[in-house]
Structures are given as C-alpha cells and as structure tokens.
Chain A
C-alpha cells in the first residue's frame, strides 16, 4: 500500500499571500496524483489531477507540480474562501486508493 504524507498539518497564511502545501508518496506514483479541497460540512471537491491539471472551474491561483514521490499544491494569492482542508490522493497503484492525512489552511 502506498502511504501518502502531507505537510504541514496546519498552515496559517495572510490574505493575498502564497500558500504552499506538500505531499510525499512512499513510492513513486508517476503523475497519478490528485488534490481535493474540503470546506467544513461539505464534500471534497476535485482541484487538481495528473499532478498539475486544474479541474473544470478551478481558479488559476491553484496550481500543482511534482512527479514521482514529491508533489506541491500552491495557492498563489490566498483568498478568504480558500480556508479549507486539502488532501492529496494517489491513483497509480490500487487498490487501495490512498489519501494523505490532510493540510488545514487557515486565514491569518
């Protein structure tokens, strides 16, 4: 089973500043990596797939990068509505499909 590890657990960023979230896989997942956003009381929403492709309707301030075992989600200019938990997921080697434990982004 591929273990996904996210850091940091919590990130506090001022509005307009850049937020950088990290995700590491225990073995290579190529570019088969997705990022999801989950706001309190809501379902997860797909942000990024293929490590760097934005899903439909996702603002350009969200970008993903990386391949192999190291990945990054960047929010270039944080907005108040970006306060949420963010999860990475690998879909390279399954079952199981595995998620990171999440990073909570707070607005400072």
Chain B
C-alpha cells in the first residue's frame, strides 16, 4: 500500500531554515510527480510546490518562491522541501502528496503531515 511519511518539522525562529523530508513506499516513486501542500492552523489547504518525476520541472506558489526549494532523491524514494527565510505566516502542517501521474493531475495519496512553527 502507498505510504508517505513526512519528517523534519519543528520550531524555528523567523528568518531561520528547515528541511522537510517525505519518504515514499508502496509505489514506484520515480514514476510520479510529487507535491507539498500546507495548512495553517484552522485554515484551508494551500498548494506549495511541485516536482516532476525526474526532477526536470519545478513549480512554486508565489508565497514561497525564492525562499523554498523542492527536490527529490529517487534512489532514496524521498521528497524534500528546503525552507529558508521562514516567516511567522509559514506556520503550518506541511503534507507531501503524490500526483496521480507525472504531474498536472489530482493528488491521490497524502502523508500525515509535519508541523512547522515559526516563532520567536
């Protein structure tokens, strides 16, 4: 069965950095696009970033462009999100999600999420 397990969340000061990881299993990771989606406390879902199966294309939400970097290690079945220059408004649960195909489709599986708190 498909499993996505995020890690790396925690408390960080404004301006700090954090790297999230998402380990995938139960499917051929290198064949699918992957996304990061976040949810601020008590709020709705916000798409953050996407990476194609082979890492050749990456897209970002305007709110994180220039500060966040998505990457993947297909040999390790792992998705990453490097977050720099963090702001208090980045406080959220971050989910990794599998695209149904290479990219540009709906998200058929989600991880349980990892909480990022940006606070002084």
| A positions within 8 Å CB-CB of B | 32, 34, 36, 38, 42-46, 49, 55, 87, 89, 91, 94-102
Contacts and interface: CB of A to CB of B under 8 A. Distances in A.
Name the residue in A34, A91, A98 with the highest tally of chain B Cβ atoms < 10 Å from its Cβ.
Answer: A91
Contacts of B104: 91, 94
B100 A49 contact: yes
Given A34-B106, A43-B95, A46-B108, A99 B45 contact: yes
Contacts of A98: 47
A100 B59 contact: no
A45 B110 contact: yes
Contacts of A95: 47, 50, 59-61
B41 interface: no
Nearest to B62: A96
Interface of B: 35, 37, 44-47, 50, 59-62, 95, 100, 104-113
Given A34-B107, A46-B107, A99 B47 contact: yes
A34 B97 CA distance: 14
A96 B61 contact: yes
Nearest to A55: B108
